Structure 1
Amino acid sequence: MPPPAPWPYPFWIAHRGAGKLAPENTLAAFRAGQARGYRMAECDVTLSADEQPFLLHDATLDRTTDGHGLAAGQSWATLAALDAGAWHGPRFRGERLPTLASLAEHARHSGLLLNLELKPGPGQAARTGAVVARVAAGLWAGLTPPLLSSFETASLAAARDAVEALPRALLLEHLATGWREAACGLGCIAIVVHHGALDADAIRQAHEAGLRVLSYTVNGAAEARRLRAAGIDGLITDAIDRFAPDTLG
Structure 2
Amino acid sequence: MSQNKPIVVYYRVSTKKQGESGLGLEAQHTYVKHFYPQEPLAELVETMSGKDVTNRPQLQKALELCKRHKATLVVAKIDRLSRNTEQALRIYSDLEGRLESCDIPNLDKFTLTLFMAIADRERELISLRTKAALDEKMKQQGEWRKPSEVFKQGLASPMGVATNKEKAQANENNKRAAAHVKLLREKEEKTWREIASELNEKGFKTSQGGIFQATQAMRLYKEV
TM-score computed with the length of structure 1 as normaliser:
0.23
Higher RCO, 1 vs 2 (CA within 8 Å, ≥6 residues apart): 1
TM-score computed with the length of structure 2 as normaliser:
0.24
1 or 2, which has the higher strand percentage? Answer: 1
